Structure 1
């Protein structure tokens, strides 16, 4: 009897996973409140955070004003040519539109610039998670030899000698000068006001709780099917979930180029733990078309190509002859599995990703 029940359960599960809906049926399903949408499917059957809106932060206006001035101040770099805003441009979703960042003396970095929004939702910062807090992250680009190349203490001295800051400092901290902690606090206060780009998905998810039928009218049939695939068959929410569309975890997708050109050992560069070689933090997908190109190295500029890669189960590079006995050769996460998406399903998924 137990075996029969198990078989029935497996068959029902397979039927649910394989079930396809017409456009009319999908609109009927997604016109209900989100708790009644088809269940989210993940590759490891975990329960994950549903889609939701990013909370709105309300830092002190005085701190924001000071942070805004610091964020755009080039004197925080050694040669006074680069500011935080040089790589985080407002009209590009606080990204820079480049494959990898460019710092002082036109030095080219090795990582794609992460966009800045939803800062309070992150549990770590940078692709390798080397900063645990936003305040730590805010000061690191100043000392980075490729980015701004200045001792943060010298940057602070410059700011404290600049009389144009006096009124801002007085208003924010009731002091004529700043401490290092206050400089970081002000920068983060400004960054908390940076919001994800205004997209149709943002409007949709903001409205879906109060009026799902009206919200649904924002999506075409292809985009709606893409949303459904994102949540179910394509299993995208295994890693891209919640308000940030990131699980805040580190995964190996096989894009480490270990022992090759473009090698990047990812989180290992921070932890020195061999098991972290090739692991990178899951990026947010919000504002995706404004944070082009993609991935940690900015080498990917074709969304369909990326979907095709994941459809095949990700990238699984094999060791070269001289790497056969290397115990640290990175392994691609088991979370990536072949998806068997049809060509139209892949196109619909891309259509959805473009409205994020």
Structure 2
């Protein structure tokens, strides 16, 4: 059975008024197909196809997964839950540049939303997991996130809880254990589905659902702004569903700030592990995080490439990019407008766009129209906050580059050549 939860407000990541409690409050709502089917824009066939045969959805399993997702006891010191950094009040992100784990440890990556992740072919910014079951395990074991030595230790932390013991027996027909713990969390994550945005209403025939500015932004999206190059909206048959190509691109984020060229040259010579836990730790705990999917593939062409995120609910999941370096959607569009930061591995699709201020505002209006109904209030507040920030500061704006020629990309073959 397909399931969904209605998002409810939670106290934010790292808040103090729940510090004495072992669990955060999971969202409330029914777990049934009817609660999903009313969402305009829901891709029914793709949703059904995304449920794995070896971990089918049931209401009891999703309820168990929700309880686990918000239980701090799964972390080493009982302070961090999955829901600490994937807060329903923030569309299952945390509003931080990079997430904070046990003992106050700060990672290297921005927390992406779990909304609609059941459609994802790969997980994490670098694609180091291919199923939600795999994804659910890694944060529990990462020393900078939940910090457990192994999955058995996480299971042991709740083994004396009678409600959990009964629930695992009912759902899986066997005692509480680590792999089933991950299966339950994955099932809950699959249940968090969010469509029903003003844009979906407009595409469904409601001409008044979005503003004229958003409508102009949609037209720019697939033309002058070139957003469709990575966000999977083809010129001939627009895909209005997922807004991601499920691929990885170097878009020129943080190249100098993270010293990517030097890191890339060192990593090509030294980083050759295929161990997923070692890759996970490099991604979250070290400067090599900036190398993106290269950590997974070891292919030079993948240096500093990161997964294309869906744009649904992007307004309420700031800050942006893998390192959380963009505070507002205006910063994001400014980054693309100037053609990113040139580097030897920059995606060939990235180039200066020459967008005017009015066109940038229209693109932001369109992106805001992708906010689902359950986040309407948060979206209105977020847009107002971002607009005020953008009026005071636009650090990524560079009109000289935005309206200039596409620079010549440095030769990747020479990037790590000895200096003479």
| TM-score for both structures, normalised by structure 1 | 0.75
Long gaps (5+) in structure 1:
1-50, 318-329
SS at match of 2:244: coil
How far apart are 1:338 and its partner, in Å? 2.6
Q: Quote the residue 1:274 is aligned against.
A: 300
- Runs of at least 5 residues in structure 2 that lack an aligned partner in the other structure: 1-39, 52-56, 233-238, 261-286, 371-420
**Alignment partner for residue 60 of structure 1, among 58, 61, 82?**
58
Please list, as runs of the form range in 1=range in 2, the aligned pairs for 1:36-51 lying within 5 A after superposition.
none
2:313 alignment counterpart: 287
Matching of residue 216 in structure 1 with residue 207 in structure 2: yes
Distance 1:271 1:161, change over 3 A: farther
> Greater relative contact order: 1 or 2 (C-alpha under 8 angstroms, separation 6 or more)?
1
- Residue 256 of structure 1, CA deviation: 4.5
Aligned partner of 2:418 in structure 1 is none
Alignment correspondent of 1:3: none
Runs of 4+ aligned structure 1 residues displaced above 4 Å come to 54-58
Q: TM-score, normalised by structure 2?
A: 0.64
- Give the Cα separation in 2 of the matches to 1:299 and 1:132: 26
Residues 60-106 of structure 1 show CA distances to partners (whole Å, capped at 9, x for unaligned) of 10110110111111111000111101001011000001111010111
Q: String of CA shifts for 1:270-306, please: whole Å, max 9, x gaps.
A: 2333332111001111111110110000010132232
Please state how far the C-alpha of 1:153 moved relative to its aligned partner.
Answer: 1.5
| Map 1:1-356 → 2, pairs under 5 A | 53-55=42-44, 59-150=57-148, 151-175=150-174, 177-196=175-194, 199-205=197-203, 208=204, 212=205, 215-241=206-232, 242=239, 243-257=241-255, 260=259, 264-317=290-343, 330-356=344-370
CA distance in 1, matches of 2:185, 2:101: 19
* Residue 54 of structure 1, CA deviation: 4.6
What is the alpha-carbon root mean square deviation over aligned residues?
A: 2.2
CA distance in 2 between counterparts of 1:302 and 1:137 reads: 28
CA contact under 8 A between 1:93 and 1:197: conserved in structure 2? Answer: no
**Alignment partners' CA distance in 2, 1:230 and 1:53:** 21
- Please say which structure displays the higher CA radius of gyration: 1
